[in-house]
Structure 1
């Protein structure tokens, strides 16, 4: 009697590997990591897989683009341990992080929009006048300097901090983001981007790319959810058949 090709087929590691462009060692590693259910063994000790394993591999590979390798691994491990609720919590956390990233992007866009062009003032600005302009204490500017958000130079004669127009731009941007509730460590990467771009205007392409990456991540999460749902369905069907037998 021929085995049902959907439920009874036996697959070699190479069969799973070739179907997904992987090495057989990668398939074995995924099994060892708990991403795939444990394989059965032949009397000679060779691994044999089933379509359930193939579906698990498809689910994992579909989850990685949206959730990252580490979270996708934890999701599959939880499901294969039978703790599906833990897997669903991890998925919820990924979606919450995506929403937070979207809000961060909106805050950055708002800060840049409110910032406007930096006036090209003649001469440099010292800590007192700049702090007064920003509505903050001089000590706050020094805190931002220690965090790497502003880089004033020192007057060689007096040792006073001297802020250039670019420094003023960075300080204005930090103030806007701080008003939005963002921490200094969250602001630092953006300031690096502003400096490397040579100002705010060139960041428009970066923001468009940021939007595109968030959208791609959201779509990838949908694709991963569909593949994971299919895997859960296969596990349920497999369990039902086991009880029936």
Structure 2
């Protein structure tokens, strides 16, 4: 630790260096995002460069995992760093594992988005490729019996529950072409393609309102290929967001490691 790191900082100094307001610095200290500041002889808080790094770490963690998870992770970490429940090495391992879990979550979100994009591209390719085995003289209506699926068959094909398909139907998504008097649902080609797009977006973490917008676009343009293009654009933006969150997490990790080292050194770790 350099002499500059040990130099006391006022609340206003920390606010200026971190980009937060004075009140935000105080609020975040109260929430445990910062290690407690020592009091100077005059009673004022005496911060150090470690507190600035902690705020930078919080900013990155909040961007990567959300402010609630970021506050919980930092508060738990600083509590452990100042406690006697574990050896410093074990506490460091716990903190590293918590950061690693966020990395794993982001990697999983990216994999889900990539799989969803792959599924959407397959839908586009199918829509653009004529069925070589189809009989040109046959009725092209999507309501033909050999083109339909029951709710059980569609749920199995998508890997979701039938209750999920019913929920989507209630929300105006993947609506069956026909519901019999016995409430048996039959999905035609168009409804099946809609359901595949809905499943791809939902598996990547998109909420019902965003998915509803994509399905509305699909119906306006009248084709699954165009709807899939719109959905793919949404997923591309999500992948960009995940990349930005991952970079923010990498920056936060470096700041967090530095501040934890200082906290534990002060505590005699």
Deviation at 1:118, TM superposition (A): 4.0
TM-score by length of 1: 0.73
Single out whichever of 190-199 and 104-113 deviates more from structure 2. Answer: 190-199
Structure 2 partner of 1:232: 260
Structure 2 partner of 1:107: 115
Deviation string, structure 1 residues 78-134 (Cα, Å, up to 9, x no partner): 3312144432222121111112112212221222233234489854527885117x9
Q: 1:49 aligns with which of 47, 50, 55?
A: 47
Deviation string, structure 1 residues 141-192 (Cα, Å, up to 9, x no partner): 96454121522366899988675664232134468x6xxxx98896875853
Change (3 A) 1:44 1:153: farther
Q: Does 1:136 align with 2:160?
A: no
Structure 2 partner of 1:5: 4
Deviation at 1:207, TM superposition (A): 2.6
For residues 35 and 233 of structure 2, the distance between their equivalents in structure 1, rounded to whole angstroms, comes to 44
TM-score by length of 2: 0.68
Single out whichever of 9-18 and 51-60 deviates more from structure 2. Answer: 51-60
For residues 92 and 106 of structure 2, the distance between their equivalents in structure 1, rounded to whole angstroms, comes to 21
Deviation at 1:234, TM superposition (A): 2.7
Change (3 A) 1:157 1:97: closer
Q: 2:240 aligns with which of 208, 212, 223?
A: 212
Deviation at 1:233, TM superposition (A): 3.1
Structure 1 partner of 2:105: 97
Query: Unaligned regions of 5+ residues in structure 1, if any?
Result: none
Is 1:63–1:220's contact at 8 Å kept on the other side of the alignment?
yes
Report the count of equivalent residues: 231
Is 2:53–2:259's contact at 8 Å kept on the other side of the alignment?
yes
